[in-house]
A = this chain, B = another copy of it.
Amino acid sequence: MDNINIKKLAKELNISTSTISRAFNGNTDINKDTKERILAYAQQHNYLPNHYASNLRDKKTNTLAVIVPEIANDFFSQAINGIEEVARKKGFYILLYRTDDVFEKEVSFVNYLNNGKADGIIMSVSGEANDHNYLRQLEKKHVPVVFFDRVYEDIEAAKVTTNDYDSSFAATEHLIKSGCKKVAYLVVNKSISIGKVRMQGYMDALAKHKVTFDDNLVIDCSNDEKVNYKILKKALQEIKPDGIFSSVERLAFATYYVCNDIGISIPNDLKVISFSSLRVAPLLSPPLSTITQPAYEMGVKAATLLFDVLENNSTAPKKEHVLKSKLFIRKSSSGE
């Protein structure tokens, strides 16, 4: 009874395996009574078709791989929700992988996916550049990829991003208009796609308002919270900016902690605005001004694009789809 399978079932029911298979796969012609009899008996005996056998035959896994830098983060968890929502409707499941922003992990997982573990991949990349051949292999295996938020420009694939440049420009301009003379830019890796684009918006806004760009005001942080705390403390004490535009949510939090500790008042001494999907941003002290990306919608869009490829088997629209972020001006940057 332990290892029931289609053959045993066939024998017990005195029927062929093909008929049983048909009972479970809807479409083909099969007598209604036979089908019901099979399904009833199967349920009783706790039989279900084995996924791995089916997959081996069909080369369909009904699984989507989702690769993100981190999970415990409002942006990514909301995006995953969006992906899951779409996947679920299609009867697909999510294989989740976190890279911790470590390039090697990304490579290793993508390689792992290279042979029939998932039908498609949705990813937000770790960012380190250089050799993206591991992604090109996927194409050969016909495993479609959709990027979201953090993308590799040199890989041809559908991409879902937001208007980062515009938002960054607007955020920086907002700080300048609020009276900031010395706006710092917080970033984790200024040389990769997102950090770069956002920085460009920052620089162009400065230029528009005839503020000279100062390299010292670009504060490049790490992935280690403690290190960031030190970096920011030092920067705030020594460089003394009066405005902060943070390209990463957790750097804004770190800024808050530092300010609390060394007695800098937000927004009086320092105005802060940050990219963030934190849902309780309005409840912070002071409420944090944010550029909020449509995380959930991005997930939905990415998944939808992936299914377009999967279902139409077409090479699909490998363009970049740009959704719009929203600027929420709150007390941290405006004083009201």
A87-98 interface code vs B (CB 8 A; 1 in, 0 out): 000000111111
Q: Are the C-beta atoms of A141 and B46 separated by less than 8 Å? A: yes
Minimum C-beta distance from A49 to chain B (A): 7
Contact for A63 among B95, B140, B260, CB less than 8 A: B95
Minimum Cβ distance to chain B for residue A59 (Å): 8
Q: How distant is A31 from chain B, measured CB to nearest CB, in Å?
A: 25
- B residues in contact with A257, CB < 8 Å: 282-283
CA distance A251 to B222 in the complex (A): 34
Q: State how many angstroms separate the Cβ of A83 from the closest Cβ of chain B.
A: 10
Within the complex, the shortest CB–CB distance from A87 to chain B, in Å, comes to: 10
CB within 8 A of A97: which of B52, B94, B280? B94
Give 5 pairs: A residue, B residue, CB < 8 Å, sorted on A: A53-B116, A71-B84, A84-B96, A94-B97, A285-B285
Nearest B residue to A286, CB-CB: B285
- Those 6 A-B pairs whose CB atoms lie nearest each other, nearest first: A285-B285, A72-B77, A48-B115, A52-B55, A96-B96, A52-B56
B-side contacts of A98, CB under 8 Å = 81, 84
Does A137 touch B at the CB level, under 8 Å? Answer: yes
Judge whether A278 is part of the interface by a CB distance below 8 angstroms: yes
A111 contacts the other chain (CB 8 A):
yes
- B contact residues around A115 at 8 Å (CB): 48-51
Q: Which residues of B contact A78 (CB under 8 A)?
A: 72
Residues of A in contact (CB 8 Å), total 50
Which residues of B sit under 8 angstroms from A53, Cβ to Cβ?
A: 56, 116
Residue of B nearest to A74 (CB): B72
The reply on A224 being an interface residue by CB < 8 A is no
Give this chain's copy count.
2
Are A46 and B81 touching (Cβ within 8 A)?
no
Inter-chain contact A116/B283, CB cutoff 8 Å: no
Contact A72 B81 (CB under 8 A): yes
Whether A16 is near chain B, meaning CB under 8 Å from some CB there, is no
With contacts A114-B48, A116-B50 taken as known, whether A93 is within 8 angstroms of B94 at the C-beta atoms is: no
- What is the CB-to-nearest-CB distance from A283 to chain B, in angstroms, rounded to a whole number? 5
> Once the chains are docked, how many angstroms separate the CA of A98 from the CA of B86?
13
Q: Tell me if A328 counts as interface (CB < 8 A to partner B).
A: no
Report the minimum CB–CB distance from A97 to chain B (whole Å).
7
In Å, the complex CA distance between A253 and B71 comes to 21
Q: Which chain B residue shows the least CB distance to A2?
A: B140
- Specify which of B77, B96, B253, B283 is in contact with A73 (CB 8 Å cutoff): B77
- A117 close to chain B: CB less than 8 A: yes
Q: Which residue of B lies closest to A280 (CB)?
A: B253
Contact string, A252-265, partner B, CB cutoff 8 A, digits 1/0? 01001100100000
Measured CB to CB, the nearest residue on chain B to A56 is: B52
Contact with B along A1-40 (1 / 0, CB 8 A): 1100000000000000000000000000000000000000
Whether A283 pairs with B253 at a CB distance below 8 angstroms is yes
A199 part of interface (Cβ distance < 8 Å): no
